Structure 1
Amino acid sequence: MAAQVRAVAPEERLPARKRAKTITQAAKSGTEVELLEALQARVARAVQDRDTPPRDLAALTKRLMDITRELEAARVKDQEAGSDGAVTADETWRPQAL
């Protein structure tokens, strides 16, 4: 799928990016997804850091993969639960749909 491209007016600005919470902020007042995102970013930085001892890399990498799976599951759970707060109307019952 090709990206949509359009001309922009000179006064148009990019929307402000939502700043990620720190682990402490997410633990204190964030959602499960925000906490997992903060943990994922922190562990990923540790894995990438050249000063991380080689003996720690296996455990950190495994934990990073675990957090990634937990994060995906939490996002799916939020989507299924309608976490965006949208209220949807009930559908009309149609017996022929059975």
Structure 2
Amino acid sequence: MGAKENILRKIRILITNQFDSPEEAFSFFDSDKDGRLKKSEIKKLLKSAAVNGFIRGVVAKELLKGYDKSSDDTINWEEFKVAIEELERDL
């Protein structure tokens, strides 16, 4: 299993085991409740998913690059849903 797949698996396990739904996970990590996950909030999600601290920033940046379709340097709920759907489909 490659690094990307391993990280995605960890995120999926976190969301499945600790939350009743992806929406609950999004709300939990959206600490300022603005409806968007900023890079710092994504890094907290990755930390909770046991993603190594050394690469957490890089992974957060790549997630933003891949899923931030509104180009506002955040991931909103709709973008998060797309990411989760892809995660569930790919793993």
* TM-score w.r.t. length of structure 1: 0.27
Greater relative contact order, per chain length (Cα 8 Å cut-off, separation 6+): 2
For the pair shown, the structure with the greater C-alpha radius of gyration is: 1
Instruction: Provide the TM-score with structure 2 as the length reference.
Output: 0.29
